[in-house]
Amino acid sequence: MKVRSEIPPVYVTQPLLPPLEEFVPYLEKIWANKWLTNGGPFHQQFEQALCDYLGVKYLSLFTNGTLGLVTALQTLRITGEVITTPYSFVATAHSLLWNGIKPVFVDVDPLTLNLDPHKIEAAITPQTTAIMPVHCYGHPCDVGSIQKIADNYGLKVIYDAAHAFGVQDKAGSVLNHGDLSVLSFHATKVFNTFEGGAIVCPDEKTKLRVDHLKNFGFVDEVTVVAPGINGKMSEINAAFGLLQLKGIGAALQKRKAIDTRYRSGLSGVKGIDCLSAAGERVASYAYFPILVRNDYTLSRDGLFQELQDNGIFARRYFYPLISEFSMYRGLASASAANLPVATKVAREVICLPIYPNMTVEQCDFVIDLIMKQ
């Protein structure tokens, strides 16, 4: 059904961009002091500002979240096998392969779509050294259960927190759970620095090791202690992040309003399910996924195409599963029989557009299109 409209194209997300004139003074300072990278003044200010905002003690900035994941594994000297989720962006598992680690996929919980703690123990072998869960869509994992398993078996826990900027649970920042948490500041994220990321560290000693590893392993001009990588964030990205941080509160409120409007408008649509609302916790409203069930009038891909045809560029996050890509499908844990919930959800999910500058008219247009099928 083609309904067409004068509504401009609606994308799954659009980066939050401050007025250009507000960024110019930052650029002028960078040009004046001629310090472009390698931990300049904006880099140092940004690290502290993020620690203050996020409620964490130590944080190390990166050029992107993927290098953050790669370095987090190196920081904790992870080897062998790591238990992780198939329901994520490929960077989660790629970071393991980059370190010569074997991913072991475990199914997800049907309500949260996070790694299912009840499936973890059966996947542990003598080669298992860590668990890498993902706070999918910014919904916190069952951190208590995961930590209990890790403690019982002597495993490390690294959280892929790419979606979890500013998310809090009853204990405070969700980023303080596990041994390390890794953030992404990619342009599609709730908070962005064009490209960027960070590792949240529990103590100063760990941060120092992270800082060495992201700078080729250098300790000083003549001492290299590890085969590190170039993961440093530039001064321009750090300056942009400082400016973005000023508007993040308003941006999150706008996202929350869109989330609320979607839930209200789609609540009575047969065959369309929304994930549970945030409730009392502090959420990032990073994505708005819906699950297209068998009793909806169209298939998931049929609805996806209908949205596309009407200028609504939603995304099927996460489809295909990581475990279905060629470099992973040969693993025993990648079998669809081992991952029934993730396999089913990957064939039902559509993430609808949600971003601060999305208008009420655009949101209602998406809702109306889904209702009218």
- Please, are residues 186 and 196 in contact by the beta-carbon 8 Å criterion? yes
Position 5 confidence tier, pLDDT thresholds 50, 70, 90: low
Structure confidence by residue, pLDDT tens digits, 232-267: 999 999 999 999 999 999 999 999 999 999 999 999
pLDDT at 3 over 80: no
As beta bridge partners, residue 181 has 159, 200
Structure confidence by residue, pLDDT tens digits, 363-372: 999 999 999 9
Q: Where in the chain is the domain with CATH 3.90.1150.10?
A: 248-371
Q: Where in the chain is the domain with CATH 3.40.640.10?
A: 20-246
As beta bridge partners, residue 157 has 131
Does domain 20-246 fall under CATH 3.40.640.10? My reply is: yes
CATH of domain 248-371: 3.90.1150.10
What pLDDT, on a 0 to 100 scale, did the predictor assign at position 226?
Answer: 95
Cα separation, 201 vs 122, whole angstroms = 29
Q: What is the mean pLDDT of the chain?
A: 95
Cα separation, 216 vs 233, whole angstroms = 13
Torsions phi, psi for 247 (to 5 deg): -110, 5
Query: Helices (DSSP H) in the chain: which residue ranges?
Result: 20-33, 41-54, 65-75, 91-98, 143-153, 204-213, 235-246, 248-266, 300-309, 340-346, 360-371
Structure confidence by residue, pLDDT tens digits, 174-225: 999 999 999 999 999 999 999 999 999 999 999 999 999 999 999 999 999 9
Burial of residue 76 (CB within 10 Å: 0-12, 13-18, 19+) is middle
Instruction: Please state whether beta strands 349-352 and 128-132 pair in parallel, antiparallel, or not at all (unpaired).
Output: unpaired
pLDDT at 10 over 90: no
Q: Which of 105, 157, 87 is nearest to 129 (CA)?
A: 157
Q: What is each CA distance from 96 to 142, 213, 278, in whole angstroms?
A: 22, 16, 30
pLDDT at 4 over 60: no
What pLDDT, on a 0 to 100 scale, did the predictor assign at position 315?
Answer: 97
User: Token pair 């599609």 is at which residue?
Assistant: 188
Cα separation, 62 vs 185, whole angstroms = 9
